[in-house]
Amino acid sequence: PGTDPPRGQNGVQGKPVRVGTRRSQLARIQTDSVVSMLRELYPDLHFEIAVAMSTTGDKILDTALSKIGEKSLFTKELENALEKNEVDLVVHSLKDLPTSLPPGFTIGAVCKRENPLDAVVFHPKNCGKTLNLLPEKSVIGTSSLRRAAQLKKKFPQLEFRDIRGNLNTRLKKLDEKEDFSAIILAAAGLKRMGWEHRIGQLLGPEDCLYAVGQGALAVEVRAKDQEILNMVSALHDADTVLCCIAERAFMKRLEGGCSVPVAVSTLLKDGQLYLTGAVYSLDGSDSLKETMQTSVNYPQQSEDGPNDDVQHVGVTAKNVPSQAQEAAENLGVELANLLLSKGAKHILSVARQLNDAH
């Protein structure tokens, strides 16, 4: 009860379902993939994609992301459209969504995660190489403090420099100029763009832990819009939901954002959820890393109680056992507390100050 999909000839209560998206090619591809899943699930509904939103993060291209100092760089404009009822749902990369959403919004679906690892794309002249085979002082482009901090420590002979712009722009900068020997991007984005062949090296967790939520798509909706919430909740992938709740809870407890290097890796196996989390100084010289685990092996409870719409770090997932979600959230908080007890706050506040000063 309570989760029957809305029915109607051509939309929810006869209206088309309007989907908001950013203008970038990757954002469009991600939105289209979610809409095609929804069309398959609800053939009677009519979905309309409302494009044309350039967000702050898309417009300010000459400043490092970590310097703009805005938590919801790529999401604010889309949330405004949701708030004004101009769209009914918005598709984001989960890693772009802050761990605390503005009041009135929730993540109504977290889709099955694509490969969450980071990937190295090499300049054509370095084809076939790996990072440790590049000549000394080779310049690597990345806009992420998290990637730079980890890789500086692992590959001290390389130089890391900021590169901004959408995927197309960054690949163009790499290929057409001699400024960079390689750039680091999320494998998931490259795959979705159909550029998997450009991946020269995948960085496993031992080289580079990934960003919270990396590789997963999130569907943001109005928290009170029961019909839309019920409709999109069919897209939830339970394993991805639990991993991402743990990751987001870890980040939230540490109060991490774009401006500090916080990284994670999760594994769900045989009902056990393993979370590895780390914090780094900007140059990677100082770091703390720990792993914890918890059981998330709980049955789905069928009672339709008042706890229906409990959010866990911004996620509403009615069709994932609530005890499992709680366990995942607690795991993230406990792991963050462990790192905080070992001095994570100092590492992060120094990183934040240095980053602000640059």
Find the catalytic residue in 88, 96, 225, 239.
96
Q: Looking at per-residue confidence, does 259 or 117 come out higher?
A: 117
Same fold, 17-115+212-299+312-357 and 118-203: no
**What is the chain's mean pLDDT, rounded?**
88
> What pLDDT, on a 0 to 100 scale, did the predictor assign at position 335?
98
For the chain, the first-to-last Cα distance in angstroms comes to 54
pLDDT of residue 259: 67
> Each residue of 40-76: pLDDT tens digit?
999 999 999 986 555 444 444 444 444 434 444 456 7
Every domain of the chain and the residues it spans: 17-115+212-299+312-357, 118-203
* Banded pLDDT at 83 (limits 50, 70, 90): confident
In this structure, of 23-27, 121-125, 287-291, the range with the lowest mean pLDDT score is 23-27
Q: Among 315, 309, 231, which residue's Cα sits nearest to residue 18?
A: 231
CATH of 118-203, one of 3.40.190.10, 3.40.50.300, 1.20.140.10, 3.40.50.620: 3.40.190.10
DSSP-derived letter for residue 47 is E
Contact 266, 337 (CB under 8 A): no
So what's the pLDDT on residue 59? 47
At the second CATH level, the architecture of 17-115+212-299+312-357 is 2-Layer Sandwich (3.30)
286 included as an active-site residue: no
Cα 282 from Cα 153, distance rounded (Å): 10
Average pLDDT of span 173-178: 93
* 348: its two tokens: 């992060």
- Give the per-residue pLDDT at 78: 78
Cβ 131 vs Cβ 140: under 8 Å: yes
pLDDT of 52 reads 53
Per-residue pLDDT at 338 exceeds 70: yes
Higher-pLDDT residue of 20, 56? 20
The model carries a pTM of 0.88
12 DSSP assignment: B
- Count of residues for the chain? 358
331 contacts 275 by C-beta, under 8 angstroms: yes
